[in-house]
Amino acid sequence: DDSLAHLFLFSLTMVVFLIAVSGNTLTILLICADPRLHTPMYLLLSQLSLMDLLHVSTTIPKMATNYLSGQKLISFVVCATQHFLYLTLGGAECLLLAFMSYDRYVAICHPLRYTVLMSRKVTLTMAAMSWLGASLNSLIYTASLMHFPFCGPRQIHHFYCEFPAVLKLVCGDITVYEATVYISTLFLLLLPILLISTSYVFILHRVIQMHAAGSKRNAFATCSSHFTVVSLSYGACIFSYMRPRSQRTPLQDKVGSVFYSIITPTLNPLIYALRNKDIAKALRKVLVRELITQRSQV
């Protein structure tokens, strides 16, 4: 209720939002502008940046508006829309990260067959499956949840319409629904984790067999960024959704949500920019070109 605290939170939220938007937008533009980055790995990375960009755009603007105005209101339709979008983008990112691990597995373990196993058609199919699979899952979740009756004080103890927070407002019997959601979330998280783990086991085995130190460094360099992003994303999602309802507290839900809906989308482009040589080279190339253009105009 403190106006100064609201102003501080608004400023902090907007700074994080601008960093996330500029970082992810820059990553997408660099991949589109540099022909050397028109490869399956960077096509998938551009989709990851697009998901992160939309993810922060789904939650932060409304949250910042609430902090600035002091009015913490959201309509039923906007809440349902926000719920559908954030679940879609979170689920799509989980699936995409699994496909990205397969891409790294093929690149390191089967380099001679990379262009065949990771053709443009296969890459686009992976991206489409991530979007469509997550959208369908989110649509079922959201439509079923919003169909339940809501009673009592309709106060969502969260900074956006997140699933556990909205579920607490339902006054009907949700035992079957909650069990179904838990099982489907289990598959949505554990199956990609299984694919990622299997891919990295084969990658590690292949790296151990390499004799050249340079080859080992290159292999680890191409996987380190992806592994860091996977750890952040899946760690926050498991913390938020895989714990029993009885062990959850509003504060823990908020902390977990901050990680996977705000911090992770903000850090992802920074992780790839700082640890990926191709992205760094593309950025330097653009900056040098811009500097030369300005000097020639002067």
Dist CA 63 CA 52 (whole Å): 17
DSSP 168: T
* Structural tokens at position 231: 């750890």
pLDDT band at 208 (very low <50, low <70, confident <90, very high): confident
The CA distance from 111 to 218, in Å, is 13
Are residues 3 and 69 in contact, defined by beta-carbon separation less than 8 angstroms?
A: no
Q: How far from 194 is each of 10, 87, 102, 261, 264, CA to CA, in Å?
A: 39, 21, 11, 23, 21
Report d(CA 78, CA 61) in Å as an integer. Answer: 13
Burial of 213 (0-12, 13-18, 19+ CB in 10 A): exposed
- Please indicate whether residue 199 or residue 71 has the higher confidence score (pLDDT): 199
Residue 159 or 78, more confident? 78
Whether the per-residue pLDDT at 156 is higher than 90: the answer is: no
Return d(Cα 76, Cα 86) in angstroms, integer: 16
Residues 220-261: tens digit of each pLDDT? 777 888 888 888 888 877 776 666 666 667 777 777 777 778
Is pLDDT larger for residue 241 or for residue 67? 67
Q: How many CB atoms lie within 10 A of CB 61?
A: 13
Task: Tell me what the mean pLDDT of segment 129-150 comes to.
Answer: 91
d(C-alpha 154, C-alpha 281), whole Å:
51
N-terminal to C-terminal alpha carbon distance within the chain: 53
Which tokens in the block code for residue 117?
């196993």
The arithmetic mean of pLDDT across residues 155-163, rounded, is: 83
Spatial separation of the C-alpha atoms in residues 285 and 294, rounded to whole Å: 14
Shortest CA distance to 176 belongs to which of 144, 143, 136, 133? 144
- pLDDT in the model for residue 129: 95
pLDDT at 31 over 80: yes
Contact (CB, 8 A) for 53 and 20: yes
Residue 113 to residue 34: CA distance in whole angstroms: 24
